[in-house]
Chain A
Amino acid sequence: MKIPLTYNLRNLVVRKTTTVMTALGVALTVAVLLSVLALLDGLRIAFQSTGNPLHVLILRKGSESELVSNFTREMYQVVRAKPGIQRGKSGEPRASLEMVTVVNLPRVDSPEGMNVTIRGLMPVGIEMREDLKLLRGRWFESGRREVVVGSSIAKRFPGAEVGKKIHAGSGDWDVVGVMEAGTGVSNSEIFADLNQLSSDYNRTEVVSSALVEASDEVAAQALINDLNSDRRLNVEARTEKDYYAAQTVSGAPIQYIGTLVAIIMAVGSSVAAMNTMYAAVARRAREIGTLRVLGFSRGSILFSFLIESVLLALLGGLIGVLLTLPLNGVTTGIGNFVTFSEIAFNFHVGPKTITTGLIFAMLMGAVGGLFPALMAAKKEILIALREI
């Protein structure tokens, strides 16, 4: 026979001070865990939503990022002639030679400035990025010192807005537009004309990478194999999606520290829940005796106290989720060690994160409630009834 759940709920309500205090402890632990998870989730979304599976990114062999890669114009001509590349509107192959470097932009809260990726591309490079939209202003013109900034850059750096100038290489560049590409990393980049940028940096012959679009998924894989085995080129090709997915490692330090902190806090909170439940068992000794007399088995008493503890922690978990919800959508930035520049993204409190938080809370409750519940179940009827 099962003890009704309302018995537990009423008990939690009757001892509201203790309930609230224990639940709040659990809530803070869950909130810390959830903030870290939300941050990592946002980072993951930013990277995963970047990159078209048909786009193949080509870097020099051994280079893990566009920033340290070298790619010559000569190599680009070889790549362009490969079979399996999608043709653009004008009939030209969709292959973009690109240069990537970083510039330092000043910001109010960090006087030293933050590094931001600047990318020089050919017109076909913009055409290939189909999800790229211009929010305001216009695209840069070739041969001029003009840039278009990503929407996160425009938001986070007051100096990067249409009509203002930023400093890159040997001169000032006019900001002529603001672009947006969903939630992808292009929002944290600055785009400029390839020829102008590469001559400014004295890198006209050797730039960074090439991006080509395959006609379909099968062609993409064939193209990658073809490029990787071409000894003339000595390059490493991969889909743009894979390239960005690998950069999620930037969140690793935060993940380690955050998880460690959440686990240590969880130990503290489960012990606190245990304390509360022991007190509950001690205070309700006579009730337990009465329940036994009424015919409830030891098993149902064990189960009932365990459920009560889990409910208590679940309440804490819910409060923790509520505490974290305002974070959803807040923009933050962390350094990307692959590109040596800052990537901006939004915290994301999704259903998966919330579920993880609630399960984590219930786990704390179960751990904290197990021993007190066992003690309650083991009580002898007569002794229990005699206790005050």
Chain B
Amino acid sequence: MRYLPFIFKNAWRNRRRTALTVLSLGVSLCLLGLLMAIYQAFYLTEASPEQARRLIVRNRVSLAVPMPIYYRERIRQIPGVQEVMISQWFGGVFRDSRDPENFFARFAVEPEKLFTVRGEIRVPEDQKRAFLAERTACAIGRPLAERHNLKLGDRITLKGDIFPVDLELTVRAIWEAAQDDEVLYFHWKYLEEGLPNRRQGMVGTFTILAASPDAVGGIAAAVDETFRNAPFQTRTETEQAFALSFLAFLGNVKAFLLSIFAAVTFTILLVSANTMAMSVRERIREVGVMKTLGFKPGGIVGIILGEATVISLAGGVLGCLLAAGLVSAIRNGPAALAMLRNLAVGPPVVAVSLSIAVFVGLVSAAVPAWSASRTSIVDALRHAG
């Protein structure tokens, strides 16, 4: 510890090199922080209390294949089920489909159940009543209203692609929720009326609200068991697992994140090792002087390791700050995946980033420190630098 001022002085001696190394480490660690934040948001985030009570039922074969509507009554009777709501993905084209900003979720639901099943939705009472009363009404999340500049009373046209029907909707409610708030809900009955006979009576997904979070596992098994021998088998999973299955569809995201993670870690190890090797090589003569003054090999190793750690820790702090900035930019942008809304550089991410920084510092300086401590005084003093 008493060498600390000396370590700082050393680190500050070649300012440009230190600054460049810190910058390089910072940028790389920012990437690591971002990857970890994504990993955490996808795989390690606990469901919110409301979300933990919801399950999604879909056709076992594929989301694209619907199931009969009478399943709703059968599901309703399963113990622990508080409510079952039709939720039909509509798809469709809003304004111009070529602009990704115009893509957002549109669900046909049973409006009277919506605010029970999604209990976390906050909406003014009068707007809620207006939405429930009108067959062609729709309710949109606040971010959508802001992005597309929609106000109460505005008309929206959705051109059907999955369904052979175009919908004329009127915005009657603008709601708020902490998560999944880029959604448009409208009356399922309105959709059903517009469909040809052969397409009626089928539903893409049901959302189940369980009486308590503990009942969720039992309900999922019971639902799938009920329809085991039915013409359309089901797959029931928690809302969170359902969202993750979309991610799995993109490919092996976990392996993708982890392999980039490994490549980046190895790269910063190289950068830091290179810097420390250069610094030590230039100071071999000093090491000789220090030894002459009575520094033990252990002390010299400590000083060099300390310097590497100080530099890489500074890189780690910079990386965390950069990552936090990047994350908030992503969080506030239009997100394709609702889960990215959970993105945050929290204490676990910071802790892991900084540990990696320390680890990199220590490992990268180990070889130069060891060889410097072993150099004999005479050789060191003679070193040409």
**A63 x B270 contact (CB < 8 A):** no
How does the 8 Å CB contact mask read for B230-254 relative to A, with 1 for contact and 0 for none?
Answer: 0100010000000001001111000
**B17 x A275 contact (CB < 8 A):** yes
Task: Report if B1 contacts A (CB, 8 A).
Answer: no
Question: What are some 18 contacts across the A-B interface (CB < 8 A)?
Answer: A25-B267, A25-B270, A28-B263, A28-B267, A28-B270, A32-B263, A102-B61, A104-B61, A112-B235, A253-B250, A254-B250, A254-B251, A268-B24, A272-B24, A276-B274, A278-B17, A279-B17, A337-B249
CA distance A254 to B249 in the complex (A): 12
Task: Report if B260 contacts A (CB, 8 A).
Answer: yes
**A29 x B267 contact (CB < 8 A):** yes
**Shortest CB distance A386–B (Å):** 14
**B278 x A279 contact (CB < 8 A):** yes
Query: With A28-B267, A104-B62, A264-B31 in contact, do A62 and B251 touch (Cβ < 8 Å)?
Result: no
Task: Report if A174 contacts B (CB, 8 A).
Answer: no
Known contacts A68-B64, A261-B31, A279-B278; 17 further A-B pairs (Cβ under 8 A): A18-B274, A21-B274, A22-B274, A24-B270, A62-B159, A70-B164, A101-B64, A102-B62, A103-B62, A170-B231, A206-B198, A268-B31, A268-B268, A275-B17, A276-B274, A333-B251, A340-B64
Residues of A within 8 A of B164 (CB): 60, 70
**B263 x A31 contact (CB < 8 A):** yes
Task: Report if A90 contacts B (CB, 8 A).
Answer: no
Residues of B within 8 A of A278 (CB): 16-17, 20
**A271 x B23 contact (CB < 8 A):** yes
**A275 x B274 contact (CB < 8 A):** yes
**Shortest CB distance A75–B (Å):** 12
**B161 x A63 contact (CB < 8 A):** yes
Q: Is the interface of B mostly helix, strand, loop or mixed?
A: helix
Task: Report if B222 contacts A (CB, 8 A).
Answer: no
**B268 x A335 contact (CB < 8 A):** no
CA distance A31 to B267 in the complex (A): 11
**B27 x A268 contact (CB < 8 A):** yes
**Shortest CB distance A181–B (Å):** 23
**A67 x B64 contact (CB < 8 A):** yes
Residues of A within 8 A of B198 (CB): 205-206
Task: Report if A6 contacts B (CB, 8 A).
Answer: no
**A274 x B159 contact (CB < 8 A):** no
CA distance A70 to B274 in the complex (A): 62
Residues of A within 8 A of B161 (CB): 62-64, 68
How does the 8 Å CB contact mask read for A67-91 relative to B, with 1 for contact and 0 for none?
Answer: 1101000000000000000000000
**A340 x B264 contact (CB < 8 A):** no
Task: Report if B60 contacts A (CB, 8 A).
Answer: yes
**What residue in chain B is nearest A60 (Cβ atoms)?**
B164
**Shortest CB distance B328–A (Å):** 16
**Shortest CB distance B123–A (Å):** 31
Report B148-180 residues with CB < 8 Å from chain A CB: 159-162, 164
B residues contacting A by CB (< 8 A) are 16-17, 20-21, 23-25, 27-28, 30-31, 60-65, 91, 93, 97, 159-162, 164, 198, 231, 235, 245, 248-251, 256, 260, 263-264, 266-268, 270-271, 273-275, 277-278, 282, 336, 385
Residues of A within 8 A of B268 (CB): 268
**A272 x B251 contact (CB < 8 A):** no
The one of B30, B97, B270 that contacts A272, using a Cβ cutoff of 8 Å: B270
A17, A62, A170, A254, most chain B CB atoms within 10 A: A62
Report A194-220 residues with CB < 8 Å from chain B CB: 205-206
Task: Report if A115 contacts B (CB, 8 A).
Answer: yes
Residues of A within 8 A of B249 (CB): 115, 335, 337, 342
**Shortest CB distance A257–B (Å):** 8
The one of B91, B260, B385 that contacts A32, using a Cβ cutoff of 8 Å: B260
**A62 x B385 contact (CB < 8 A):** no
**Shortest CB distance A338–B (Å):** 11
**B20 x A332 contact (CB < 8 A):** no
**A275 x B267 contact (CB < 8 A):** no
Residues of B within 8 A of A205 (CB): 198
**A265 x B267 contact (CB < 8 A):** yes
Per the CB 8 Å criterion, the residue count for chain A at the interface is 54
**What residue in chain B is nearest A29 (Cβ atoms)?**
B267
**A18 x B278 contact (CB < 8 A):** yes
Task: Report if A1 contacts B (CB, 8 A).
Answer: no
Q: Considering the complex of A and B, which 3 residue pairs feature the smallest CB-CB distances, nearest first?
A: A335-B249, A271-B24, A268-B28
How does the 8 Å CB contact mask read for A225-257 relative to B, with 1 for contact and 0 for none?
Answer: 000000000000000000000000000011001
How does the 8 Å CB contact mask read for A309-336 relative to B, with 1 for contact and 0 for none?
Answer: 0000000000000000000000011110
CA distance A264 to B26 in the complex (A): 10
**What residue in chain B is nearest A201 (Cβ atoms)?**
B65
Query: With A254-B251, A269-B267 in contact, do A102 and B65 touch (Cβ < 8 Å)?
Result: yes
Residues of A within 8 A of B60 (CB): 104
Residues of B within 8 A of A261 (CB): 31, 260
The one of A267, A275, A340 that contacts B27, using a Cβ cutoff of 8 Å: A267
Residues of B within 8 A of A70 (CB): 164
**A268 x B160 contact (CB < 8 A):** no
**A335 x B251 contact (CB < 8 A):** yes
Residues of A within 8 A of B282 (CB): 279, 283
**A340 x B62 contact (CB < 8 A):** yes
**Shortest CB distance A46–B (Å):** 14
Task: Report if A388 contacts B (CB, 8 A).
Answer: yes
**A265 x B264 contact (CB < 8 A):** yes
Residues of A within 8 A of B63 (CB): 340
**What residue in chain B is nearest A65 (Cβ atoms)?**
B161
Residues of B within 8 A of A283 (CB): 282, 385
Query: With A268-B28, A268-B267, A340-B62 in contact, do A68 and B274 touch (Cβ < 8 Å)?
Result: no
**B245 x A112 contact (CB < 8 A):** yes
CA distance A342 to B93 in the complex (A): 24
**Shortest CB distance A41–B (Å):** 16
How does the 8 Å CB contact mask read for A169-205 relative to B, with 1 for contact and 0 for none?
Answer: 0100000000000000000000000000000000001
**What residue in chain B is nearest A253 (Cβ atoms)?**
B250
The one of B93, B270, B273, B336 that contacts A62, using a Cβ cutoff of 8 Å: B93
Residues of B within 8 A of A62 (CB): 93, 159-161
**Shortest CB distance B111–A (Å):** 25
Residues of A within 8 A of B160 (CB): 62
CA distance A4 to B77 in the complex (A): 86
CA distance A60 to B275 in the complex (A): 63
Residues of B within 8 A of A334 (CB): 250-251
The one of B64, B91, B248, B277 that contacts A21, using a Cβ cutoff of 8 Å: B277
**What residue in chain B is nearest A342 (Cβ atoms)?**
B249
CA distance A347 to B278 in the complex (A): 39
Residues of B within 8 A of A24 (CB): 267, 270
**Shortest CB distance B357–A (Å):** 13
CA distance A29 to B268 in the complex (A): 11
The one of B17, B231, B248, B266 that contacts A28, using a Cβ cutoff of 8 Å: B266
